[in-house]
Amino acid sequence: MQTQLINFTIPKKLLGKIDILAKSEFRSRSELLREALRIYLASEDIRKRSFEIVRIAGKRNNLSEEKAIKLVDKIRDNLPLNK
């Protein structure tokens, strides 16, 4: 795997939480943040595909805006980041 070094700033309080979690899981900060980004990106992909499915299904089935919003909320509630 090719890697690229990046620098960014985060609040000290957040860094403290990252360090505590990384230590408890016997991982480095980098490993923990890589995994967090993988999960976030996968969730975003699922979210985008889900909304597109709802949009298409809504058009095909004349889904009301209210029902579409409820369906989107249900999808959001089931995303990994929301559990």
Instruction: Give per-residue pLDDT as tens, 23-42.
Output: 999 999 999 999 999 998 98
In a domain, 70, yes or no: yes
* Residue range(s) defining the domain that contains residue 30: 12-82
In a domain, 2, yes or no: no
pTM here is 0.64
In a domain, 56, yes or no: yes
In a domain, 18, yes or no: yes
Confidence of residue 74 (pLDDT cuts 50, 70, 90): confident
Considering its fold, how many domains does the chain have in total? Answer: 1
**Distances from the Cα of 28 to the Cα of 11, 42, 50, angstroms:** 18, 21, 33
Under a CB-based contact definition with an 8 Å cutoff, are residues 29 and 22 in contact?
yes
What's the CA gap between 27 and 30, in Å, rounded?
8
Q: The tokens 């490993």 sit on which residue?
A: 31
More confident residue, 35 or 81: 35
| pLDDT at 19 exceeding the cut of 90 | yes
- For the chain, give the percent of residues with pLDDT over 70: 94
In a domain, 68, yes or no: yes
In a domain, 27, yes or no: yes
pLDDT given at position 80: 66
pLDDT given at position 8: 92
In a domain, 78, yes or no: yes
